[in-house]
Amino acid sequence: MRLKSFILKITLFFAAFVVIFCIPYLAAEESEFRRQFIENYKKDSFYAQSGLVKKNKDTIVSEIDALINEAMMPEKNFQERMYLLDIANSMASMNIHWNNGSEDVLNRVEKLQKQEFEKEKKKTEEIERLKEAEKVPGNFILSTYKDEMAKHGLSPVIYPHWIHRSFFRCKVCHEPIFIMKRGSNNITRTSILEGKHCGACHNGKISFDANAQENCTRCHLFGKPESNPLMDLSYYNHDKFKEIASRIGSEWNPEKLPGGKLPLDKLGFINWVELDKIKAFNPRSALDGTPDTEGVRDTSILFETSVTFLNNVLFSHRIHSTWVRCSLCHPDIFKPELGANKVKMIEMKDGKSCGRCHGRVAFTYSNCLRCHNQPRENIPQGALINRAGSSAPAQ
């Protein structure tokens, strides 16, 4: 916490530095007085400034007002606004000093500066909290209806993928219940109460009821201490998970967990492939009434690479089609034909190709060797080979 507020202070100090020294003239219709005042201010020309201020005694207050009005225009960003208010502050102080001017003007400017500073600080802090909450892959803040929620005294919602995928495969939700793209589902209070979206389960039968007053803050919990267990994974508890699994008809077998702990990958996130391997769980593939008719495909595809220092990539249809419906990947993300897709890393960073899931909900692409896992001389038995990458010129 301390380090964070220190970083925040440094950031704001730096912003102030930019405001005062680095931003050139911003105002289009600057008066000659303002132009000269700013020039003197930047050069620290004390004598020239005092002369200028005395000479313009009668108009300086309206100059300050014009600066304030301009600063507070909605299209101004924080830096521009603080720059203009800083000049106004200096004018007002000089006016008191040299012309015996009124203190009210200065008070007004200082109040605005403080207010804008606080607003910006809050904004920065909120961004920090958002980053913290979304550090766990697939922990998403849902805040399209931020203002409506605030009106009801409710915080934005945290949707934790990791809790849900402990009991349900992706195919349960994607896409019978949710389109797999953030912000594209228009989830509302009404849709939930109609049994859609979260309401498909949070109805008091499969899981806690979204219509019960005491449950509102179980979802609307962004920014509250109660959300910590979703972030540090301490929400996990053997007995609780066994209870949920038996209620919804999936499996959770804590006795199979190595050392009684969730298996983690190198980056400290849950290793879901390992959980399946040791049969510590068996999430549901369908809710009653929305069966998974597509099933699992048991082929592996070896993506040969052209880059000599890299391992090849082995893609397991079994792992993927256990979690994900065929129709989610085919034909939109990948043509279902051997060698028809040339995979490029650059697309992943933009959320395309393998990056539709990896780096968002599935393990991140910065974990290179989890995909580039097959030494070039080793061709796994039975693997189908995609040579689209290897025929590309080496780079």
**Residues 115 to 154 in contact with ligand HEC, rule: CB under 6 A:** 140, 142-145, 148-149, 152, 154
**Contact flag: residue 322 with ligand HEC (CB under 6 A):** no
What whole-number distance in Å separates Cα of residue 82 and Cα of residue 158?
34
What whole-number distance in Å separates Cα of residue 262 and Cα of residue 233?
10
Question: Shortest Cβ distance from residue 125 to ligand HEC (Å)?
Answer: 20
Q: How many residues does the chain have?
A: 395
Positions in 244-273 near ligand HEC (CB under 6 A) = 244, 248, 272-273
The smaller minimum CB distance to ligand HEC, of residues 69 and 237, is found at 237
279 torsion bin: left (phi>0), alpha (psi -120 to 50), beta (else)? left
Structure tokens at 226: 């109660």
Binds ligand HEC by CB under 6 A, chosen from 24, 28, 29, 213: 213
Question: Shortest Cβ distance from residue 45 to ligand HEC (Å)?
Answer: 53
What whole-number distance in Å separates Cα of residue 360 and Cα of residue 175?
16
Positions in 271-290 near ligand HEC (CB under 6 A) = 272-273
Positions in 24-83 near ligand HEC (CB under 6 A) = none
The smaller minimum CB distance to ligand HEC, of residues 99 and 306, is found at 306
Binds ligand HEC by CB under 6 A, chosen from 64, 66, 262, 361: 361
Stretch of residues binding ligand HEC (CB under 6 A), selected from 28-36, 91-99, 118-126, 210-218 = 210-218
Which of 115, 52, 45 lies closest to 85 in space, CA to CA? 115
The smaller minimum CB distance to ligand HEC, of residues 90 and 166, is found at 166
Which long-range CB contacts under 8 A does 313-316 form with residues at least 24 apart? 313/343, 313/371, 313/372, 313/373, 313/374, 314/373, 314/374, 314/380, 314/383
CA distances from 78 to 81, 122, 157, 372 (A): 5, 13, 28, 45
Binds ligand HEC by CB under 6 A, chosen from 53, 66, 112, 163: 163
Binding residues with ligand HEC: total (CB under 6 A): 110
Structure tokens at 337: 């034909």
